[in-house]
Structures are given as C-alpha cells and as structure tokens.
Amino acid sequence: MQRQLVGAYFLHEYSFEASALFNPSIVVHPDQTGAPPGGCRFILSLRAVGEGHISSLTFRSGTISADGGVSVDPTARLASIPDVESWTSGPNGDDVRVVFPADEDISERILFPITASQSHGIEDARFVEFMEEGQRVYYATYTAYSGTAICSELIETSDFVSFRLSPLSGNATKNKGMALFPRKIDGQYAMIARQDNENLYLVQSNCLHNWDGGVAIMKPQYPWEFVQIGNCGSPIELDEGWLLLTHGVGPVRRYSIGAVLLDKTDPSKVLARSKEPLVRPNPSEREGYVPNVVYTCGVMRHGERIVLPYAVSDTFSNFATIPIAQLLQLMEPV
C-alpha cells in the first residue's frame, strides 16, 4: 500500500470524479461513424468534482436511436491531462492551447485547471455547435474559479482533441452562466447572460471575446423561480423561434428547469414561457452533493425531440426526452 501511495504521489494521480459528476451539456459528435440508422452519436461534457472541491471538465460519448433512446458508451478506467501547445498571457488573462493524443478514447480526456484564473475550477461548460460560413466549430462558455474570484472564459475546438481556452472581457462577463447562440444574428454574435445575478439578458457583440452591455429580457415571475433565473445552455433554433431552457431558484434554494421561446429575428422578445417547471427535484432524490437541484448546461435537438441531460442533486446525471410539439404546448404566450 505504501508503494502505491508513493507511486500515486509522484504520478500526481487524482480522482477527479470522486465527489460529484454533474451539470452536463450535449452536442452532436463531429464523427458520426457507427451511428445507428436514423440516429446519431453525441458528446456529453460534465463537470467533475474531486478532492478539495476542484472542478474539471470530462467527456462521454454515446448514441441516440431513431426513436429517442439514449445509450452512453463504456468509459475508460483512467484519464489524463493534455499537452500544452502554447500559452500566451494578456491583459485579460491567459490564452492556452492544449492537445490530447488522437487515439485516446474521449472519456480519457480531462480538461483540468491549469491557469491562475481557473486554478480552483473549470465549472459548468455550456457547449454549442456553432456554424459560420459553412464551417463548424464547438464553443463552450464556462466559469473559471480562482479560489477567490470567478470570471467567464471560452473553450474552442473542432474535434475534441485540441482545445483553446481563452478569457472573455467586458462588463457582461463578470458573472456565471453565459450561453452562446449557435449562429450570428444580424451579423453579430449573441449571448444569453445574467450579469446582475437575477435576470436574463441578451448581449450582442462583433467580437467573440468581448461582451459589454446587454438588454434585460426576462425576470423571475413564478414562485419556482422567484429568487433568480438563469439559462440552461445555448438556445435551440426551431421554426417557431429560439427555444431556451432556463433554471429557476425557488424556496429552500430549490433548482428547477423551465423553458422560454424567443423571437427568431429579435431574441430580446419573449414569445412564451413555461408557467410550471419541466423538471423539478424529486422528493426521493433530495439528498446529494447539493440537495434540491436539477440542472443542465445544454440540450440538443434530435429530429422532432429535445434530448435533455440533467444533473440530480449535483451528484449524478440522467436523461429525459420530450417531443418539441409537446414542449411548445407547455408554454404560455406572453
């Protein structure tokens, strides 16, 4: 046992999922080899918490069948951090590029804190498949935690093998929970943000790394969200508008998941919202790393369904699916 402990020390072995595995987001896999007929492969990102309450970003892959069935691939026993390709320090923080071995399984790849701003955590990554001029890239906004301060940062990847982690600037980036729209709107990037820690804002910018100002578009309205509201990942584009899942915090710090529909040409206009939560904590699942919480950092569309991965009590994650038509019927016009 002593030899194993000494070996673990020199190898810097760390059980990065020992405490919790939660707050997932989901995107279509860039490689659809082996996808089931009528289905697709996906990549799931999750926030992992290990000893010392340090958060990192870990991944899973899986498939969605034509009828909406979800299957997660088996995971590797061990994982490793990437090699650093470049590191540039600037006035807003460190810009780092890292790369994993291409032959590693995706569950073997972990983005562990390496810069000062994220030294105590890479938290709640909201991944989105972004299309621009026919090119696909995956972005994720996340909360970097230094141990004393938080800030919003950005991940960029095209293959989930090489990643760029860079800081965001501007007065709209000083809080948690920014979510990027999957395409530009009227030639500008767009985010849903919560810079006042209570309401939802639409923020637009010509620069992906700088975000200022914003227009308040939604405030707490119903009892299940009266403390504060936030987004649950990037909006999904539908024929009817932009579908945005939200989280509401109610009495006893109870987190539930709802939805709103934003106008497609002017997302500052709320067309409809759910009066009651879509998903709420189950009384039998109240206990956990953080009790009374259901939460997600991103959903995806598969055909005429929404696939919703969500965390329970910040301890483990589950999946739900719902037909888009049914989801729209659950929302009331504003």
Decide if pLDDT at 108 tops 70: yes
Which one, of 51, 157, 29, 50, lies nearest residue 105 by Cα?
29
Q: Where are the domains of the chain?
A: 14-333
* Averaged pLDDT, 191-208: 96
Decide if pLDDT at 285 tops 90: no
Q: Please, how many CA atoms are within 13 Å of residue 170, restricted to the half-sphere of its CB?
A: 21
Distance CA 137, CA 159 (A): 8
Q: What's the Cα-to-Cα distance from 279 to each of 62, 225, 287, 296, rounded to whole Å?
A: 23, 13, 17, 10
Copy the structure tokens of residue 14: 């760390």
Of the ranges 36-50, 102-116, 148-162, 276-290, which one carries the lowest mean pLDDT score?
276-290
User: Dihedral sign, CA of 160, 166, 169, 175?
Assistant: positive
Q: Which residues contact 135 (CB under 8 A, 6 or more apart)?
A: none
Distance CA 125, CA 285 (A): 24
Q: How confident is the model at residue 10 (pLDDT cuts 50, 70, 90)?
A: low
The pLDDT assigned to 8 comes to: 64
In DSSP terms, 193 is beta-bridged to 201
The pLDDT assigned to 290 comes to: 63
What is the identity of the amino acid at 307? V
Decide if pLDDT at 289 tops 90: no
The pLDDT assigned to 287 comes to: 56
* Averaged pLDDT, 300-308: 97
Range 14-333 classified under CATH 2.20.25.10: no
pTM of the complete model: 0.94
Distance CA 136, CA 117 (A): 28
Distance CA 100, CA 154 (A): 18
Counting every residue written for the chain, the total comes to 334
SS3 of the chain: the string is CHHHHHHHHHHCCCCCCCCEEEEEEEEECCCCCCCCCCCEEEEEEEEEECCCCCEEEEEEEEEECCCCCEEECCCCCCCECCEEEEEEEECCEEEEEEECCCCCCHHHEEECCCCCCCCCEEEEEEEEEEEECCEEEEEEEEEEECCCCEEEEEEEECCCCEEEEEECECHHHCCCCCEECCCCECCEEEEEECCCCCCEEEEEECCCCECCCCEEEECCCCHHHCCEEEECCCCEECCCCEEEEEEEEEHHHEEEEEEEEECCCCCCCEEEEECCCCECCCHHHCCCCCCCEEECCCCEEECCEEEEEEEECCCEEEEEEEEHHHHHHCEEEC
pLDDT in tens, 170-181: 999 989 999 999
Phi, psi for residue 2 in degrees, rounded to 5: -60, -40
* Averaged pLDDT, 145-149: 95
* Averaged pLDDT, 210-221: 97
* Averaged pLDDT, 247-255: 91
Distance CA 213, CA 211 (A): 7
